[in-house]
Amino acid sequence: MYRVLIADDEMIERTVLFRTLDKNLKGQCEIFQAENGREALEIYEREQIQILILDIEMPGINGIEAAEQIRKKDKECSIIFLTAFDEFSYAKKAITVRALDYLLKPYDEQELMLVMEEAMRQADACDGEGLEERLKAQVSGADARTVREAGQDVADLGHEADQGHKASDARGKGVENGRICADLGRQSQEEGEESGNVRMDKVTQLIFCYIQENYMYDISMQDLARAMNYSEAYFCKLFKQCFSKNFTSYLTEYRVKEAKRMLKQPTVNVKDVGRAVGYMDSNYFARVFKRITGQTPTEYRMCIFQRE
């Protein structure tokens, strides 16, 4: 059972969040509550919390300060921040905390649950369950490319080195994209609002291209923020402005969309589809797929074949 802590000084918001998690994750999580950062630190120490959802703005020790203290002791726990747009200048202090994601108030329930699914996956990996699969995801393999190209007469099962080279190239493009974004930022300051709109369009396109080229790998918000030369907090705000949802939710939905396309190929194994879109753990893939579509991958495939 996962040990989750909610820290928010607003009792109503804290209660609503507790009930949302309890409804969606009943039996999977033991959920604790704190009304400020100091209490959050005490509960974290006492209960060995694995996943923290911290409101940034709390009296006394705020969410960022609490997270900084926790991160000094624990490099593996998942930290999720609750915040609002006007708090992002404050949130810049969280760069070294390595937050899993930032949920902007008012948060969407599905976005929250997709972030929680990722946090639970990371908790499993830290406990040693699926750690080998996670390392494999970082390396990537030919299976992913093979499945993505199913139905297109391209079925080469080798060339891991070539695939790794492609991944390196894609990440290299991300770094180059970061330089372009920096230039676009200076340009927008010089040329005013119209240029700013052009810059946003360019940034949106660059982010989309990065995800399109790297979604099959074990990428994180930090990876993309670093590639774009932005702080995590600012990048989270920028991403929300570009795509109207947070990074984890968008990446997950993109992967599921690709998985749905691959599942139409009757000769491709469901587990291979999961690996091809970045999920080495087939159970996790099925859980996330069902949270978005309401069906497991196998059920989804059966429905497609029955209609044909």
When pLDDT is averaged across residues 96-103 and rounded to a whole number, the result is 85
pLDDT at 194: 52
Dig out the tokens for 30 from the structure.
């033991």
pLDDT at 179: 53
| Dihedral sign from CA coordinates of 157, 161, 166, 167 | positive
Instruction: Write the pLDDT tens digit of every residue in 155-167.
Output: 232 233 234 334 4
Q: Hey, what amino acid is at 213?
A: E
* DSSP-derived secondary structure for 154-187: ------HHHHHHHHHHHHHHHHHHHHHHHHHHHH
Contact 200, 241 (CB under 8 A): yes
- For residue 16, how many C-alpha atoms fall within 13 Å in the half-sphere facing its CB? 12
- Alpha-helix runs per DSSP H in the chain: 11-24, 37-47, 63-73, 88-91, 109-126, 131-139, 142-148, 160-191, 193-214, 221-227, 232-243, 247-262, 270-276, 282-293, 297-307
Instruction: Write the pLDDT tens digit of every residue in 180-196.
Output: 555 544 444 444 455 66
User: Poorest-confidence range of 50-54, 125-129, 214-218, 238-242?
Assistant: 125-129
**Cα separation, 18 vs 277, whole angstroms:** 31
In the structure, what pLDDT confidence band is assigned to residue 198 with cuts at 50, 70 and 90? Answer: confident
Dig out the tokens for 94 from the structure.
């969280």
pLDDT at 231: 81
Q: Hey, what amino acid is at 280?
A: M
In the structure, what pLDDT confidence band is assigned to residue 136 with cuts at 50, 70 and 90? Answer: very low
**Cα separation, 210 vs 268, whole angstroms:** 26
Prediction pTM value: 0.76
Q: Hey, what amino acid is at 141?
A: G
* Position 14 pLDDT exceeds 70: yes
* Position 269 pLDDT exceeds 80: yes
* Position 59 pLDDT exceeds 80: yes
Buried/exposed 220-246: b ≥16 CB within 10 Å, e otherwise? bbeebbbbbbbbbbbbbbbbbebbebb
User: Poorest-confidence range of 74-83, 99-108, 120-129, 237-246?
Assistant: 120-129
